[in-house]
Amino acid sequence: MRLIRKFTNETVLLENGFLWSDEFAWKPIEQNQEFAVDGTLIIQEGKKKSGRQITLLSKTNKQGWIKRVALSKLQDWSALQDEQFTLVFEYPHDTRQFNVIFNHQDGAIEAEPVRGVPTVSDGDYYRATFKFLEVPNAS
């Protein structure tokens, strides 16, 4: 899996052990239901055009880790406004790509050292959670 910054084409590799925890929580149809004064059910619905949440997290202590150097780069990218990224899955069974931004409302990045002590090098590993929103491609 990798995240590509569209503006510069820079890439950060993400270990394949991250779990997309809300993959099947997305409901593409928005629906409102209410009753008219005569008791008739009124249903309005429409298809969502964007806004799917993509949360990637370290589910276990043995996978979904990221090196400090890559985590720092993602932290820097998350601070950029009006930037879009391509999230690329690179599994044999799943090669989907998503146009995303960081989901700051829900806490874009959370991380803690795997060893539970302060890190001493850029090669030290972190367990992390990354929160994105799928958005339309910028024109």
Q: pLDDT truncated to tens, each residue of the chain (139 aa)? A: 999 999 999 999 998 889 999 999 999 999 999 999 999 999 999 999 999 999 999 877 777 889 999 999 999 999 999 999 999 999 889 999 999 999 999 999 999 998 888 888 898 999 999 999 999 987 6
Domain membership flag for residue 11: yes
Q: Which residue has the tokens 């990637």?
A: 56
What is the domain extent for residue 116? 2-29+46-134
Q: What is the spatial distance between Cα 35 and Cα 41, in angstroms, rounded to a whole number?
A: 5
Total domains, the chain: 1
Domain membership flag for residue 37: no
